[in-house]
Amino acid sequence: MTRREVFAIAATLGLQFLGSCSKPEYESRGEFYGVLHSETVQPQESETMLKEMIYVRIGDQTLTVQLADNTSAEAFKELLEQGDVACEMSDYGGFEKVGALGTTLPSNDERITTEPGDLILYSGDQITIYYGTNTWRLTRLGKIQGRSSSELKTILGRGDVTVVFSTNEREGGAK
């Protein structure tokens, strides 16, 4: 066999091998993580929301939150039925306010991309309100209704803020 024939056979086998390879499972789901990528290329969100509402008071503003349909949101609502929960929340990462919940709730973490208004449980005992986006393994508790990112930034303000979570709407109504 000549060197040319050996090269041709090797090239043919190489092409057959490459053609038989399929995409890795993570890539076919749209979750390609390259060296320079820290987010999902095509985030997939399929979480359903309950019709149940809770309320978030920040200063003189009351916001309505539609709860997610998961055991974490159910546990959070049960906690609030025992009484209001106040959290001292601080800015983190330029896209969220985060604070200690004071208890641990069951987690239903999944890879999601947050949106402004998302109420998220992190590590089972931290609660966050997003005014920006982030992709991570998190548990969605609910979604603040009818507020844009800029409105949420204004309402939440800069620095630390006290946020009160409740099952009862207060004077002035939810906005």
Q: 3-state secondary structure string, the chain?
A: CCHHHHHHHHHHHHHHHHHHCCCCHHHHCCCCCCCCCCCCCCCCCCCCEEEEEEEEEECCEEEEEEEECCHHHHHHHHHHHCCCEEEEEEEECCCEEEEECCCCCCCCCEEEECCCCEEEEECCCEEEEECCCCEEEEEEEEEECCCCHHHHHHHHCCCCEEEEEECCCCCCCCC
> Which domains, ranges and CATH numbers included, belong to the chain?
1-42 (no CATH), 49-166 (2.40.100.20)
| Least confident window among 12-21, 30-39, 49-58 | 30-39
Record the pTM.
0.69
Give per-residue pLDDT as tens, 109-144: 999 999 999 999 999 999 999 999 999 999 999 999
